[in-house]
Structure formats: C-alpha cells, structure tokens
Amino acid sequence: MQRLLSSEFVHNYRHNIPAVLGSLLVLAFACLAIFGPLLVWQDPYDVSQLELMDSFKPPVWLDGGDPHYLLGTDGQGRDVLASIIYGARISAFIGIAAMACSCVIGTTLGLISGYYGGMLDAVIMRVADIQLSFPSMLIALFLMSAFGNGIGMILIALTAVGWVVYARTVRGSTLSEIQKEYIQAARVAGLSDTEIIRRHVLPNVLTPLIVVSTIQVGSFILIEASLSFLGVGVPITEPSLGLLVKEGFDVLFSGIWWTSAFPGLFIMFLVFGINLFGDFLRDELNPRLR
C-alpha cells in the first residue's frame, strides 16, 4: 500500500486537477446512485406515494416551489430528484454491464485472433472492419428496432457494437506478446495453448483495456440515453435517464423545463467525469502518447 501511494501513478494523479475532479464527479454520482434511494423520501415508482395534486411543481428556488420536491415534480407528481436517482441506477447498470460483456467477448475473440492467426483471424478482423465503417449509434438503433425494447436487448445491441474495439486492441498486443521469449519458453516447457493464453498472454494485454473500458462506459451511457430518447431503448417501466429526458420533451413547449433539464445535466456531468478520468488514464498508461 505504501508503495502504491508513493508510486509515480498516484503522484501524477494527485497533481492532475482534471483527473481528481473527474473521479470525484464519478464517485459522487456513484454514491448518489447507490445510496440515493435512502436520501429521498419518495419511491417514484410506488404509485401510492404519488400525489397528483403536486404535479408540475417547479424547483424549490422558484415561485411555487415546494421544499418537499427539491428539483420539482413531473406530470404524475413524481419528485424529479428521486426519478433521476432511480434512473441513474438503470443507466449506470446498462453502461457497466454492456462494457463488461463487450470486454469479455471482444478480448476472447482478440486473443483467438492474435494467437492462432489464419482463417479465423481473417474472418474476425474483416467483420470488425466492416462494422467499424458504420457508426455504432446506427448499428445499435437498427438492432433495437429489429429486436424490440428491453434492457436485455440494449445489452445485446451495445455488446454487438462494443466488442470490436477490444478485439482489435487485444489482437494487436497479442501479436507483439507472442514474439517474446517468455512465450517461447512457456511453449518449450510444454504448456498447452489455452494455458499460455490464459496465464501468460492475457495478463500482459490487459493494461490498454483499462482506458478503453473507462471511456466506453461513458459512451454506452450516451448511446443508451439516445436510444431511450428515440423510444427504442428501455421500456417505460424501467425509465433510464434518457427516457426521463424524453418524457420531459413532451411538456417542454409549455415552459416546463425542469423535468428534462436535470436528468440531462446528470447524464452530462456523469459522462464528463468519466471522460476526464479516462483522459488521464490514457496519458498515464499509454506512454507513446506523452
């Protein structure tokens, strides 16, 4: 622990204001999502706790604001802050779970591709090339329109667009790792291919993935929000932040801005925090870019 604290990495981190700021933002949002339900008095999806009389109350600092509802209420009398907290849990879950699925599948394919080469490699990489020439947003939109709404479907769609970057990165590092002597030594020692991949190649290709996964969580949260905004994302019963913004859009023209402005701000600062931290990691873990 002492060694970790005095390492160059930690030193650079402590002197990098944006990185500290970014991780604090992420930490704050994570705490809000995890412990938030304990802080707000209303469960926005328990109908018995909703007061229709309290619909469209503005935020507390405006005329007509109610101290019960810090950020105002929506058309069903739901506390906007409470909806955001519950929505953030769904958004964050989708972002992280989809990243984990992409990472596992992409890394496996990348290892196979780089280690064995040949036809398998050619096929995997061509598929990746074709996929990279299309915007991930459009692929995800298309998959969602074919499969229909639902959190499971979003995870599949995001994984389908997300695996490529892992496969390519891992394949590249694998190709350069297997040239090295320790791999040959392991071969001579009689280890099977699977053992070599698992125990020797895998640990050595993981570092660049830290950066990729960090940034990907942010972009997945944005893609999910956009899909839900378009109405092909999460179902109404499990509203993520994007769906909250969409619901707010319908009343925006009557001047009710708080039901859409705050969920959007939340997405923005969450993703900004992730990106700030990811940017720092990229500079630290990828010495070539310094």
Partner 1 sequence: MLGYTIKRLLQMVLVLFVVSIIVFLMMSFTGDPVFMVIPIDSTQAEIEQARRLLGLDQSLFSQYWIFLSNLLQGDFGRSYVFRQPAMDLILERLPATMEMVLVAMAFATLIAIPLGVYAGANPNRTASRGIMAASLFGISLPGFWVGMMLIYFFSVRHPFLPSSGRGETIEILGLRLSIFTADGWSHILLPAVTLALATLAIILRITRAGMMEVMRQDYIRFARAKGASRTHILFAHGLKNALIPVVTIFGLQLGDLIAFATITETIFAWPGTGKLLIDSIYRGDRPVIVVYLMLTAFIFVVINFLVDIVYTVIDPRITVK
d(C-alpha 255, C-alpha 213), whole Å: 39
Q: Which is nearer to partner 1, 155 or 267 (CB)?
A: 267
Dig out the tokens for 135 from the structure.
Answer: 């915007």
Residue 24 binds to partner 1 (criterion: CB under 8 A): no
Dihedral sign, CA of 96, 97, 102, 105?
positive
Residue 93 binds to partner 1 (criterion: CB under 8 A): no
Residue 142 binds to partner 1 (criterion: CB under 8 A): yes
Task: Compute how many residues bind partner 1; rule: CB under 8 A.
Answer: 42
Residues 112-131 as x/- pattern, contact with partner 1 by CB under 8 A? ------------------x-
Q: Which is nearer to partner 1, 174 or 219 (CB)?
A: 219
Residue 287 binds to partner 1 (criterion: CB under 8 A): no
Q: Which is nearer to partner 1, 168 or 200 (CB)?
A: 168
Q: Which is nearer to partner 1, 98 or 222 (CB)?
A: 222
Residue 285 binds to partner 1 (criterion: CB under 8 A): no
Residue 236 binds to partner 1 (criterion: CB under 8 A): no
Judged by CB under 8 A, the chain residues 199 through 218 that form the site for partner 1 are 218
**Residues of the shown chain interacting with partner 1 in the complex, contacts defined by CB under 8 A:** 18, 130, 133-135, 137-138, 141-143, 145-147, 218, 222, 225-226, 229-232, 242, 245, 248-249, 252-253, 255, 257, 260-261, 264, 267-269, 271-272, 274-276, 279, 289
